[in-house]
Chain A
Amino acid sequence: MLALLVCGVVCVCASSGARADARFGDSTWVAPASSADGDTATDGPRVAPRDHERRWETALRAPFRVVFYPLRLVGSGLEAGVGYAGPRYFDPKPKRPPKSGPTLAPGIALGALNDIGVGPAIRWVGFPTADATLRLAGSWSAIDRRRVRLSETIADRRPVGFLLDADYDYKPNRHYYGIGNDTPKTDLSYFLLANTNAEAALLLGASPLRQLRFVGGYSNMSPGRAYHGQPPLEEVFTPSSAPFEHVATQELWYGVTADLAALDDPRDPSGGVRGRVELRRAMGLRSSDPDYDQWRAEGRAYLPVFAKRRVIAVRCVYTGIDPDGGPSTVLPYYRLAQSEGVSRFAGYPSGRFHDRQLLLARIEYRWAILYRMSALALYELGEVAPRMASFTLAGAHRSIGGGLRLGLSDEATARFELAKSDEGFQAVLSLGGDF
């Protein structure tokens, strides 16, 4: 009370001297009622007691704090993880030539929830030449999927470059529903496939968006009895409905790939077109291995809807495989065009349809919701057929859905999609596609 009175008296005293030019906002302003001088380091009072949460608020919040404690732990764990990774990976580093020599880091290969592979990844900058980079990564997942990938890029992003790529993918539970567009979903079966590929490419063009690639390679596909999935293929299908049921095939192949694009923003395009064509001719190494031609054509178009943040994106894919020996020649079921990876039908499981040709048309409406992230609504038609003439609009499988798209770089996106088809819902999180 005494302090208040003293202060009040001081206010009165102070006011008399300040009255002459006391106009707030004036550069010569002096407040009439303050005595804000004094040393905070001297002994003296505090303005308020120690601060504590109000008791009634503690009582109100306590049960929720207990119930949500596990979530809080998760949040704290994530925070600690980001706190650890941030300085190492997110902080901007001065641009300098990458250190030459090998570096070892953990690698992750995404798949289904039980198929997330982990393993070592080696990156060797400057091997074997100064402008080359060698990458080697291996991973193993809980379903015993084994992946090894080796790639060597020489003169990357130069007008003329060279690429060597080899990978081994051993997956014990691939899906097979039979060949054709109308296979019932109840025919789901599983097979093992050990896939070994090696290819070499001559790259003409510095940008992956405008590049011609002459490619040649070797492919070995070896099917087997599935595990981590029931029932196995051989219990559902006869050998005639799954040609080359347990027979491996080896092929040598060569071909050409061309990319051509005119986009306003390669990472998050809102206007422009992009096209890609791949042509391959494969020759069996043994007499039992078939010879065939394989192709894939893809076109995309992007159209802004009155503003760049709203985009209609269209994508069409036509892919197929055609035996050299004519239509009657049998091809291994595992080398047929199939709805998986970048050709997966949105509302259907991966590997749902197999046949010689596949058509996919998708239209998306995308709209920006966060920095580099868009929401999307999609409508898709997909179909497989033995030949072009067999495609019909009525036979197309429809998917409708929505999701999120995050542009990671000019060549990679992360997408989450939830789509519905006549067979139910499918949710997919993918990393690496560029649509």
Chain B
Amino acid sequence: MRLELRRRLSRALVPPWALLLLAPALACAAPGDEPTRANPPARTAGDAVEITEGTWVDHDRQPIRRPPDWQPSYWGRRFHQGLVEPLTHVFDIPDKLLWVARTLGARPQREAVNVNAFDETPNSAWFTNRNHVRAVPVAEMRQGPDSVFLPAKPWTIKHAKQVGWSAGFQIKDADGKKWLVKLDPGGHPQLSSGADMVARTLLHAAGYNVPHNEPVRFQRGDVTIDADLLSGAKGERFADADLDSVLARGAVFPDGSYSAYASLFIPGHALGSPSMNRLRPGDSNDWYAHTNRRELRGLFALCSWVNNWDTEDHQFLDMFLEARDSLGHVDHYILDAGSSFGAAASGPKQLWVSYENVVDLPWTARRILSLGFAEEPWRRARQETGIPSIGNYESEVYRPQDFRQLVQQPAFREMTDRDGYWGAKIVASFSDAQIAAAVDAANYEDPRARDYVVRNLIVRRDKIARHWFGRVAPLDFFSVLDAALRFHDLAVDVGLSGGRAYDVEIESADGRAPGSERVHLSSAELPLINLGKGVSQLSLEISVAGDPAKPAHVELTRKDSLWIVTRVRHG
């Protein structure tokens, strides 16, 4: 009987163990994320949508019916992303197996999926290529993400602000437009409103959709409470005492006016926040897992730059914009960037925030094991600026890759070097003049604030570029001109490095010429005249001479007598 039981037990246990042992082999043998063919043909998906890897526009605003309103529970998600997910990853056995597979040469880590042939993210309902492909004029940045347009006074309060940590209320302005007013925390005029303005200007110039927010100042007399709200006729009640209590939490300028920012309601129907862990139900355009979207993964570099430490799902918003016949599409916004730089809704951010997750298991383990003698970087960092409108922000101890959000963002966790490089490239694309203009958009009253933010943004930008350009060779913007392949070395462009030399390994991609050829370049230009005779496709691996950064891979295709760039991959 016992023998029989043992036999059955062993039979039952064999498949999982076999799978465990086979897992690394599975991962090694599995095909990579992307087709290895140099020039994949246009494909057609099962639902007859054309797939073109070379496109710069991902057509994801096709007309659909309005999806049902849905958003993840704020506190549930916070609990999930703050505690459940970090714990889950600690005990994720398949992850550990994949890690073993990596040591055997496999590349089990998944690359972002919505990347075109040139290793860029096409325009979509989430993202529009802006500053890194065409610089946003300095004068435009000085105005913020869009033109200055303030809520007309007097304001009528229509609702109390229901969620979030900052004090505020919903208003209808004198022109009948709806805004959400959020007060800066007491004692810190322009802390959140300034941070939001600067961060949002930069995020928009980077390519993200942001709402129209305006830093505002108002007097108590500019605000009245809607009669229905005052009487509680519609169920919700907000009395003068409530308003006084809200205003008491707000920041006041020396002239007695309140400091706040007003967020214009975005046109369309608010569907709720997206979840980073699932697609939006009912949106047939939303078909890449959000954690596999390049623009969401690469957002890490931008958040690290502006110190936007609160990137939970609820900082995003999906809006349904109806076009005709009840059909429309969903646009995806970054809703709130007020928790950037040294700001938090209740005052200057706590010192550990942006250096650690709220439950940071690695740091917790280090502290436990060291009996409290491990010194965290945020303790060494001189963050307290003493500037009320800036809060706790620094760039000296800051390390781009060690930036942490309050709770872990699932898309950031999936970020690869390629995604990080892409984000860093966008960060590096901002010139000093653009940064200064973005900070000017906030109209800081304290002159120290402007200079401090500009200076630290520049230092942080360079640190970000230096970090990712050191991991992935920053060779980009390949083009063929005058029978030569020309490219940019972004590290040289942004002044992080002097002129450099490059090594190129050239192979025939169509198999017509065996072997490879090595070329050494002293500038970012490869003459193509004598290359690949009788060959229709070339595969180039270009690295910076003497630099360990992962090389760039470029594929050239011959069309008639011209070579054209058909594929680029970084790292």
Question: How far apart sit A19 and B329, CA to CA, in the bound complex (Å)?
Answer: 37
Are A35 and B246 neighbours in the complex by a CB distance under 8 Å? Answer: no
Question: How far apart sit A348 and B373, CA to CA, in the bound complex (Å)?
Answer: 31
- For the complex, is A99 an interface residue (Cβ under 8 Å from B)? no
- For the complex, is A432 an interface residue (Cβ under 8 Å from B)? no
Are B49 and A4 neighbours in the complex by a CB distance under 8 Å? Answer: no
Are B428 and A4 neighbours in the complex by a CB distance under 8 Å? Answer: no
Question: How far apart sit A39 and B124, CA to CA, in the bound complex (Å)?
Answer: 9
**From residue 14 to 70 of chain A, which have CB atoms closer than 8 A to chain B?**
14-16, 19, 22-51, 54, 56-57, 59-61, 63-64
Are B118 and A83 neighbours in the complex by a CB distance under 8 Å? Answer: no
Q: Using known A-B contacts A5-B564, A63-B19, A86-B73, determine if residue A15 contacts B116 with beta carbons closer than 8 Å.
A: no
Taking CB atoms, residues of chain B closer than 8 Å to A98 are: none
Question: How far apart sit A57 and B360, CA to CA, in the bound complex (Å)?
Answer: 27
Closest Cβ of chain A to B83, distance in Å, is: 9
Q: Using known A-B contacts A23-B493, A25-B493, A45-B49, determine if residue A51 contacts B113 with beta carbons closer than 8 Å.
A: yes
Closest Cβ of chain A to B157, distance in Å, is: 13
Q: Which of B79, B137, B245, B559 is the one whose CB lies under 8 Å from A5?
A: B559
Are B74 and A25 neighbours in the complex by a CB distance under 8 Å? Answer: no
Are A1 and B41 neighbours in the complex by a CB distance under 8 Å? Answer: yes
Question: How far apart sit A299 and B163, CA to CA, in the bound complex (Å)?
Answer: 44
Are B74 and A86 neighbours in the complex by a CB distance under 8 Å? Answer: yes
- A-B pairs, 8 with minimum CB distance: A86-B75, A367-B372, A83-B76, A8-B564, A83-B73, A36-B129, A24-B493, A45-B52
Q: A45-B59, A64-B93, A94-B246 are in contact. List 13 more A-B contacts (CB 8 A).
A: A15-B480, A24-B132, A27-B138, A36-B56, A46-B59, A47-B58, A57-B30, A59-B19, A60-B19, A82-B76, A85-B75, A91-B163, A369-B367
Interface residues on chain B, number (Cβ under 8 Å): 119
Taking CB atoms, residues of chain A closer than 8 Å to B137 are: 27
Closest Cβ of chain B to A22, distance in Å, is: 8
**From residue 86 to 134 of chain B, which have CB atoms closer than 8 A to chain A?**
88, 93-94, 97-98, 108, 110, 113-118, 120, 122-125, 128-129, 131-134
**B362-397 to A contact mask, C-beta < 8 Å, 1/0:** 001001100111000000000000000000000000
Identify the interface centre among A35, A85, A370: most chain B CB within 10 Å of its CB.
Answer: A370
Question: How far apart sit A175 and B450, CA to CA, in the bound complex (Å)?
Answer: 68
Are B431 and A27 neighbours in the complex by a CB distance under 8 Å? Answer: yes
Are B78 and A86 neighbours in the complex by a CB distance under 8 Å? Answer: yes
- For the complex, is B566 an interface residue (Cβ under 8 Å from A)? yes
Question: How far apart sit A243 and B247, CA to CA, in the bound complex (Å)?
Answer: 64
Are A96 and B565 neighbours in the complex by a CB distance under 8 Å? Answer: no
**B43-55 to A contact mask, C-beta < 8 Å, 1/0:** 1011101111111
- For the complex, is A341 an interface residue (Cβ under 8 Å from B)? no
Are B75 and A87 neighbours in the complex by a CB distance under 8 Å? Answer: yes
- For the complex, is B193 an interface residue (Cβ under 8 Å from A)? no
Taking CB atoms, residues of chain A closer than 8 Å to B359 are: 370
Q: Using known A-B contacts A24-B494, A50-B45, determine if residue A80 contacts B479 with beta carbons closer than 8 Å.
A: no
Q: What residue in chain B is nearest A35 (Cβ atoms)?
A: B56
Question: How far apart sit A90 and B56, CA to CA, in the bound complex (Å)?
Answer: 44
Are B30 and A12 neighbours in the complex by a CB distance under 8 Å? Answer: no
Taking CB atoms, residues of chain A closer than 8 Å to B190 are: none
- For the complex, is A3 an interface residue (Cβ under 8 Å from B)? yes
- For the complex, is B265 an interface residue (Cβ under 8 Å from A)? no
- For the complex, is B289 an interface residue (Cβ under 8 Å from A)? yes
Are B479 and A12 neighbours in the complex by a CB distance under 8 Å? Answer: yes
Q: Using known A-B contacts A3-B42, A48-B114, A54-B110, determine if residue A309 contacts B78 with beta carbons closer than 8 Å.
A: no
